[in-house]
Chains A and B, each alone.
Chain A
Amino acid sequence: MNNTNKSLEVVQSFFNAINARDMGEAASYMSDNHEYTGPMFSTNNPQDYFKALGAFEMEFAVETQDLIGYENSVTHVSILKVVSPVQANIPCCEVFDIENDKIVRQRFFFDTALFPKQ
């Protein structure tokens, strides 16, 4: 398997785990020094990332629209579907950097104006 296919597989598996709400499995695709930057929070390790994510107390699913990979980079274009307690559809783009089959950097872009108020 070449780098591109492996990187795509890592990101695909990460989202499969996220959508199955298996955060332990999702974390297994992240490196210990996983760096996340997004409009609502930024973290430097998987534990802080899932803690920050959990603070939203919302049920959501990620609907992949495009998954574009080149070597160690993967662009994931998606719709973030907030399912409850309110509904919202938020167009998103995430750029992943993969090293040694683990996500080391995840940059998330979306418009917070579309995010439901808590």
Chain B
Amino acid sequence: MRPVKLNILGACKPFILATILFSMCAVSCKSTTKANNEKNKTAESLEVVKGFFEAINSGDMQKAASYMADNHHYTGPMFSTNNPEDYFKALGKFEMEFAVETQDLIGYEGSVTHISILKVLSPVQATIPCCEVFDIENGKIVRQRFYFDTALFPSP
């Protein structure tokens, strides 16, 4: 009786190859999905901040508030607040007409850096370089950190 030679490795080759190919595809698909998720989150965060400033510049504070979370937390050199109502109340106290001119909008996932010129239009004029860092969660601004030099801010 002739012995039967079993080439297990040879027999398994197609299976091993298929497994490797499948694993490579799975890893590749996973990283593509992750990259797409990051891209989508970044795009959403940028849209939120853009929408917020468009509303601010058109004087529609209700619309601006719709981009903010109920626990919106603002810190800046002149005041700090913990909800949208207090934020707009504090903003309204300045009794000034102003516009925000965006210079750069840089986003990564839930973070957006907004570099701008704050233009005080009336009753006096001033041009103030500013930087704001936004944290976005579930399509809403949860934290807004504002940086500028108050020395450039017009006296009331």
Question: Interface residues, chain A, CB within 8 Å of chain B?
Answer: 4, 37, 39, 66, 68-70, 73, 75, 77, 91-93, 95, 107, 109-114
Tell me the B65-100 residues at the A interface (CB within 8 Å): 75, 77
What would 6 more interface pairs be, CB under 8 Å, given A66-B133, A95-B115? A39-B152, A68-B111, A77-B133, A95-B106, A110-B147, A114-B77
Q: Which residue of B lies closest to A113 (CB)?
A: B150
Q: What DSSP secondary structure best describes chain B's contact surface?
A: strand
Residues of chain A within 8 A of B133, CB atoms compared = 66, 68, 75, 77, 93
B113 and A73: CB pair below 8 A? Answer: yes
Please classify how large the interface on chain B is, using the bins under 10, 10 to 19, 20 to 34, 35 or more: 20 to 34
Q: How far is the CA of A112 from the CA of B152 in the complex (A)?
A: 10
Contacts of B152 in A (CB 8 A): 39
Question: In the complex, which of the residues B106, B131, B147, B148 contacts A73, with contact meaning CB atoms closer than 8 Å?
Answer: B106
B147 contact set on A, CB distance < 8 A: 91-93, 109-111
Question: Is B106 touching A77 in the complex (CB atoms < 8 A)?
Answer: no
Known A68-B133, A93-B131, A95-B131; contact A111-B106, beta-carbon cutoff 8 A = no
Query: Do the beta carbons of B129 and A93 come within 8 Å of each other?
Result: no
Report the Cα distance A4→B106, complex, angstroms. 12
Q: How far is the CA of A66 from the CA of B42 in the complex (A)?
A: 17
A-B contacts, 21 listed (Cβ < 8 Å)? A4-B108, A37-B129, A39-B149, A39-B151, A39-B152, A68-B108, A68-B111, A70-B107, A77-B133, A91-B147, A93-B131, A93-B147, A95-B115, A95-B131, A107-B129, A110-B147, A111-B149, A112-B151, A113-B77, A113-B149, A113-B150
